[in-house]
Structure 1
């Protein structure tokens, strides 16, 4: 079963070599060229946990979803929002849009050193800040995804330890279910636990890479994982990850292992285009992760954090 998220995973065929480039491919090539030539002006950030275990990538019927990575597991549970004297059940957040929103919110929290993040005077304003299209379909989808994200509960399990990892404490914008405009700037307030651990364990990301991969939740997940993992590899000979490891971490949405492998490899090509310093060798049964430079130089990371001081 091919993943059917908001992105394009699994939808590309072999095609004609002389066929026009898709919009997604052209975008990746454009950003890959820029990334190869210049460093980012300043980084984006995401919590280390969410770089290892992410949200669902496609719509899920149930109200609970679990993502595993080794002995770590992230449990995402759908919540409810109170509006017009009614509790409204929300679905589980999924796809690229809530991922990009979490990156933006986390980045602003790290830069401003505050758990309270202003998200603009309207939903359109917030979407423009993230770099998401504001047409009618994107608007409706993003609105629904933001409600789902703000209401959901996240719990991290590690070994025999259970940690409350819910990211959003308060959501005070785009509340009216009838779609009426907000009259004042909205805010999202992170929970104290999430904010404090974010400041201590924020993974720097190249915003241009995120922009290039914005159409694929799987590519975004692979990129953030490699950004967290590769520069931590200490052994010169590298660390091995098997296809079983990768399927456990990234493949819950797939019933066919071969389908997952094909889609992962295709997404990895896009990721490596915008993370050219990523070093990994494909071997029988999986990959060898090799010591690599992070996607954002340490000098730029330090400068970004000093800027927010």
Structure 2
């Protein structure tokens, strides 16, 4: 883990890495009691990590492609153009919403009486600037459209069908809700990937680390060859590296994030190959799976 020098010559972990070390020790010593979940598709092809120009974004994984199109949201007077959702905020929201849907066995999920209450559930700072940015990302997430393509198949993957944006706060005791689309809910119910909530907490500072963790949580338990399966740097760059300017920068950033991921996913077995990429070896899931896996043409 990265360290910082202080004047007395001692070595001190950064706050982020100190949290990773603490939660890593807990994960290694104590089984997960409260798993979280994410749709298998979003474990393989995720949201953009940075704000993009334009209204569409495509993420590829082998033969699969996820197309995200920014939508519009009605504010009571006008339809307002939204961004393509990006960054850690919509990812953390999706973890929580998906987990609550599985826990409640319902596609209607309560999200609190206020935006600050929901943010506290996600361990987010609720200062004014963060609250404004979070509301923007929630509006973007709930308005966006998603399509999954594989081969010649085209599937609607829009996650959220209804969202009231905390507009009913004047009603005593009334919580706002998000309603998942039926297709997304059925896919989630049949193929939710179980994740360790402590690992998500440790990695919530980094979109890339979250994406690598969820990908490995989905992918490693599906490796069937005892001698492993190789994923090339070219494939990983296509899947994870759109936001990086060159291969060298991507590899350096990816490897740094991967080291953090392996701290909180100790069951993961893989071998970095300097030139070829990563060799993935059969590994248990970070949390014992309780749902079956669907296979979109054995996506990598």
Same fold (TM over 0.5): yes
1:248-278 per-residue CA deviation (whole Å, 9 max, x = no partner) reads 0000111211000000000000000000010
Q: 1:62 to 1:19 in 2, by over 3 A?
A: farther
2:225 pairs with 1:248 = no
Instruction: Report matched runs for 1:1-309 at 5 Å.
Output: 16=5, 18=10, 20-175=12-167, 183=171, 184-283=174-273, 284-298=275-289, 301=290
Question: More deviation in 208-217 or 24-33?
Answer: 24-33
Q: 1:64 to 1:72 in 2, by over 3 A?
A: same
Contact 2:3–2:13, Cα closer than 8 Å, also in 1 = no
Question: What secondary structure does 2:86 align onto?
Answer: coil
Structure 1 residue 297, shift from structure 2 partner: 2.4
Q: 1:203 to 1:13 in 2, by over 3 A?
A: closer
- What CA distance in whole angstroms lies between the structure 2 residues aligned with 1:132 and 1:213? 13
- What CA distance in whole angstroms lies between the structure 1 residues aligned with 2:2 and 2:123? 27
Q: 1:13 to 1:258 in 2, by over 3 A?
A: farther
Structure 1 residue 138, shift from structure 2 partner: 1.8
Question: What secondary structure does 1:287 align onto?
Answer: strand
Matched positions, count: 285
Structure 1 residue 139, shift from structure 2 partner: 1.3
TM-score, structure 1 length as denominator?
0.88
- What CA distance in whole angstroms lies between the structure 1 residues aligned with 2:50 and 2:136? 14
TM-score, structure 2 length as denominator?
0.91
Which runs of 5 or more structure 2 residues have no equivalent in the other structure?
292-300
Question: What secondary structure does 1:104 align onto?
Answer: helix
1:72-109 per-residue CA deviation (whole Å, 9 max, x = no partner) reads 00000100000121000001110111001001101111
Which runs of 5 or more structure 1 residues have no equivalent in the other structure?
1-11, 303-309
